[in-house]
Chain A
Amino acid sequence: MLAVRNIGISFGALKAIDDVSFSANAGQILTVIGPNGAGKTTLFNVISGVYVASHGRVELDGEDVTSLAPDALAARGMSRTFQNLQIFQRMTVAQNVMVGRHLKERRNLFADLLRLPSVGRQNRETREVALQLLEEVGLADKADVLAGDLSYGGCKRLEIARALATGPRVLLLDEPAAGCNAVETEEIDRLICRVAEKGIAVVLVEHDMKLVMKISHRILVLDRGKFLAEGTPDQVRENPVVHQAYLGNRGAKEVQGA
């Protein structure tokens, strides 16, 4: 579904991402992990078109989508969430998700300016879809609350609902459980699994290792912008190179000695 080939981006002399390749399949969860500064979020920004890649390719179903703008990527079925929340604070929760339906809606400026009856009808349909998605992420009772008044965990789930509203085939989730308590993490963990079960290719960046090991089908490990390892959770857990990256030489020896 999503194939990333030898992607790289440099900021001046710094190679923030250097020659990273992976692919994500429909219905599977691929998690990107790595120590702080490994380039996980940068990788997301390059794939989702927020940054322009210096080299390499991004393919969606074989089509080259490298360096397309985020809105063009959304139209081709890629959506994402953000590590630092990017919700529309002054809109209600339901309206946030309705914005996610933007591409699915008929958009005619003059119909909107005159509020033709078709606009009202479409609004009801869009709201219906939005409410279903909110139900799915467990925010149905907050539909008409201002998004800015949601709890942190609520905002995280709202971002997922909004991304799902675009009807993605590939969903990039940047630390969806960061800053959430154990109960919220549990909810998000189940939510991500349900999303994958729908046949969406999920690419996840996450620090919560318990969550990562539990739900990932495959794990990609980055270190300082470079590919370090890839494999199933078990393979990655046993990989000494990964221990070394996280804990340094000494720490890795201690783990192996233990």
Chain B
Amino acid sequence: MTTLLNNRYAILAALAVVIAVLPFTFPSNYYLRVASLVWVSAFAAIGLNVLMGKAGQVSLGHAAFFGIGAYSAAIGPAHLGLPSWASLAIGACISGLLAYFVGRPILRLKGHYLAIATLGFGVLIALVITTESRWTGGPDGMPVAKLTVFGWRIGTAYAWYWLSAAFLLVGAWIALNLDDTPTGRAFLALHDSEVAARVVGIDVAALKLRAFVIAAVYASIAGSLLAMMNGFVNPDLAGFQHSVELVTMVVLGGLGSIVGSIVGAAVLVVLPQALTVFQEYENLMLGFIIIVSMVFMRDGIVPMISKLIARAR
């Protein structure tokens, strides 16, 4: 089991099996929607995990890139007559470039200062989206055109389930690829000891920037997918609360664990749905569960489980 958690093809195969089997257990389309939402959120969380878990840099404004992706998918077809998939790609490029130029000055900061700077950036983007109502529909949001691929309209819950799952598999594959490559090793080195990374010749500023751009592109693609799936966007997607949710997925699932990000996303998407029985105490319960899990599983859910298994051997 521990080797299973460490081999990237074993992880991907296990994930593919889960994806293939799940729909048969679902009593209604509602569950397909929730699962698709998990896959899309997990995609964003995996990107953020490369930044936070691997390279050890924090971003408290990551929903900004999610929002840019989402609004690209909305504005491209609505205002510019672009196809949806092209809008997704353009959104990813804009996010990547923005991350590059914003990242250069702010990634010099460390710890709390970096957290505050990214938070400020996130608030700024959310503000722009809310105020530029001619383009974005303002606080009310705007509708998003359905995705068409080769004349085939992706609209059913099933189609979205498979499409989002395919994106997740590719996203997880790419993130897992990074382990044990020069870039992946340099990320971990940077996380463990920045000064030691520098004296072996790692250009830490360039490296942090790469992680930031990767995370931004992931978030942007996830945002575009969610927008097209829901057929609607609003500024909350780029908001601070969403940034915190993304960070929570990564930390709760396990920093540095790609499987952990998927589990974290599943918990944060499914739990609120399951907690609706508590009605007005729903958020209270959610917060309580997260606090308790972090107290008892400080490394996150997946690293905790693999540690337990290793100990049981």
Inter-chain contacts of B189 with A (CB < 8 A): 88, 91, 99
Asked whether A74 lies within 8 Å of B193 as measured between CB atoms, the reply is no
Contact flags B181-218 to A (C-beta < 8 A → 1, else 0): 11111101101110111111111100000100010000
Shortest distance from the beta carbon of B260 to any chain A beta carbon, whole Å:
14
Contact flags B301-313 to A (C-beta < 8 A → 1, else 0): 0000000000000
Given contacts A107-B183, A115-B181, 6 further A-B contacts (CB under 8 A): A71-B198, A82-B195, A113-B183, A114-B174, A123-B181, A163-B199
Contact flags A63-103 to B (C-beta < 8 A → 1, else 0): 00000011101110001101000111111000100111011
Between A and B, 28 residue pairs with Cβ closer than 8 Å are A70-B198, A74-B201, A79-B200, A82-B196, A86-B195, A86-B196, A87-B193, A88-B192, A90-B256, A91-B188, A99-B189, A102-B185, A102-B200, A102-B201, A102-B202, A103-B200, A105-B182, A112-B177, A112-B178, A112-B184, A113-B178, A113-B214, A114-B177, A119-B181, A119-B182, A122-B182, A123-B181, A162-B196
Inter-chain contacts of B199 with A (CB < 8 A): 48, 50, 70-71, 73-74, 79-80, 163
Most chain B CB within 10 A, of A70, A105, A163, A166, is at: A70
Taken together as a complex, chains A and B put the C-alpha atoms of A82 and B182 apart, in Å, by 23
Cβ of A109 under 8 Å from chain B = yes
Q: Closest residue to A92 on the B side, CB-wise? A: B180
Asked whether B201 lies within 8 Å of A166 as measured between CB atoms, the reply is yes
Beta-carbon contacts under 8 Å, B165-180 to A: 174, 177-178, 180
Contact flags B14-52 to A (C-beta < 8 A → 1, else 0): 000000000000000000000000000000000000000
Asked whether B188 lies within 8 Å of A90 as measured between CB atoms, the reply is yes
Number of interface residues of A (CB under 8 A): 40
Inter-chain contacts of B195 with A (CB < 8 A): 50, 70, 82, 86
Shortest distance from the beta carbon of B106 to any chain A beta carbon, whole Å:
19
Cβ of A203 under 8 Å from chain B = no
| Cross-chain contact of B200 among A99, A106, A107, A109 (Cβ < 8 A) | A99
Inter-chain contacts of A91 with B (CB < 8 A): 185, 188-189, 192
Taken together as a complex, chains A and B put the C-alpha atoms of A168 and B232 apart, in Å, by 57
Inter-chain contacts of A70 with B (CB < 8 A): 195, 198-199
Cβ of A219 under 8 Å from chain B = no
Taken together as a complex, chains A and B put the C-alpha atoms of A115 and B179 apart, in Å, by 9
Taken together as a complex, chains A and B put the C-alpha atoms of A92 and B282 apart, in Å, by 43
Cβ of A33 under 8 Å from chain B = no
Number of interface residues of B (CB under 8 A): 28
Asked whether B192 lies within 8 Å of A109 as measured between CB atoms, the reply is no
Asked whether B188 lies within 8 Å of A88 as measured between CB atoms, the reply is yes
| Cross-chain contact of A113 among B177, B192, B203 (Cβ < 8 A) | B177
Which positions in B face A, CB cutoff 8 Å?
A: 174, 177-178, 180-186, 188-189, 191-193, 195-204, 210, 214, 256
Inter-chain contacts of A112 with B (CB < 8 A): 177-178, 181-184
Taken together as a complex, chains A and B put the C-alpha atoms of A122 and B195 apart, in Å, by 25
Taken together as a complex, chains A and B put the C-alpha atoms of A166 and B203 apart, in Å, by 14
Cβ of A165 under 8 Å from chain B = yes
Taken together as a complex, chains A and B put the C-alpha atoms of A73 and B204 apart, in Å, by 14
Inter-chain contacts of A88 with B (CB < 8 A): 188-189, 192-193, 196
Shortest distance from the beta carbon of B56 to any chain A beta carbon, whole Å:
10
Asked whether B204 lies within 8 Å of A71 as measured between CB atoms, the reply is yes
Shortest distance from the beta carbon of A34 to any chain B beta carbon, whole Å:
23
Shortest distance from the beta carbon of A54 to any chain B beta carbon, whole Å:
20
Taken together as a complex, chains A and B put the C-alpha atoms of A82 and B193 apart, in Å, by 11
- Known: A86-B193, A114-B174, A123-B180. Contact between A162 and B185, CB under 8 A? no
Inter-chain contacts of B201 with A (CB < 8 A): 71, 74-75, 102-103, 166
Inter-chain contacts of B204 with A (CB < 8 A): 71
- List 9 A-B pairs, minimum CB-CB distance, nearest first: A74-B201, A86-B196, A112-B181, A115-B177, A103-B201, A70-B198, A88-B192, A112-B183, A86-B193
Inter-chain contacts of B203 with A (CB < 8 A): 71
Inter-chain contacts of B174 with A (CB < 8 A): 113-114
